[in-house]
Amino acid sequence: MGINEVISRLETGNKRFVADKLDGKLQDSSRRGALTGGQEPYAIVLSCADSRVVPELAFDTGLGELFVVRVAGNIANTSSIASIEYAVAHIGSKVIVVLGHQSCGAVTAAVAGGDNGHNLNHLLAHVTPAIAASKEGANINDVVKVNAELTAKELASRSSIISGAVAKGDLKIVPAYYNLDSGKIDFL
């Protein structure tokens, strides 16, 4: 399956999700059995950990179709990048979707600033470039979109594995935005 076909498949699955017409395929014991020997997900999704954003449902996919990495603010930290590198180098996924979402709590906390404790401060620091790159007075959702775009660029700039696959034309990184109210995913 080529890169454009993967993106089209994701878009089509999201249309089914928005229309409440999920296929629900590849989610049974037969599929589980077929995957015991390995996996070949066609796409990687770097998504926020928010419980309202479930990539497998939002793209109407089954078991083994998506390699999902979830971390608050869909940030590119060492662990999330390493997980994505594994999928690129060893599984051959064709597309990385960096999926930000409406009303992201991590972005809201980063914009608000203040001391959130050592670990959360460290995580929120990854959102600071998106705040700086956003227009003065930008709303949270605009910062979320900038964050997804910058994270998509950062994945390639911080990883020779990812940038090499992009340079060879084997991989495309696509920032996206999930609308909580409708379920629609906008590719940015």
How much is the pLDDT for 101?
A: 98
Per residue in 104-113, pLDDT tens?
Answer: 999 999 999 9
- What single-letter DSSP state applies at residue 42? S
> Would you state the pLDDT for residue 163?
98
Q: Is the whole model's pTM more than 0.85, yes or no?
A: yes
Please state the rounded mean pLDDT for residues 117-122.
Answer: 96
Residue ranges in 21-127 assigned as alpha helix (H):
29-34, 55-58, 78-86, 105-112, 118-124
Residue 30 belongs to a domain: no
For residues 77 and 82, what is the distance between their CA atoms, to the nearest angstrom? 8
**pLDDT number for residue 24:** 86
Structural domain containing residue 157: 3-23+40-187
pLDDT at 10: 98
In a domain, 51, yes or no: yes
CA 132 to chain CA centroid, nearest Å: 21
Number of domains in the chain: 1
CATH classification at residue 9:
3.40.1050.10
What pLDDT sits at residue 94? Answer: 96
User: Does residue 31 fall inside a structural domain?
Assistant: no
Chain-wide mean pLDDT for the chain? 97
Question: Is residue 100 one of the residues assigned to a domain?
Answer: yes
β-pair partners for 41 = none
pLDDT digits (tens, 9 = 90+) for 50-93: 999 999 999 999 999 999 999 999 999 999 999 999 999 999 99
pLDDT at 175 over 90: yes
H or E stretch including 163?
A: helix 160-167
Q: Is residue 105 in a domain? A: yes
45 located within any domain: yes
Radius of gyration of the chain (CA): 16
Q: What share of the chain is helix, strand, coil (3-state, %, to 5)?
A: 50, 15, 35
Query: Is there a domain that residue 56 lies in?
Result: yes
d(CA 38, CA 184): 31
Residue 29 maps to a domain = no
Residue 184 has pLDDT above 90, yes or no: yes
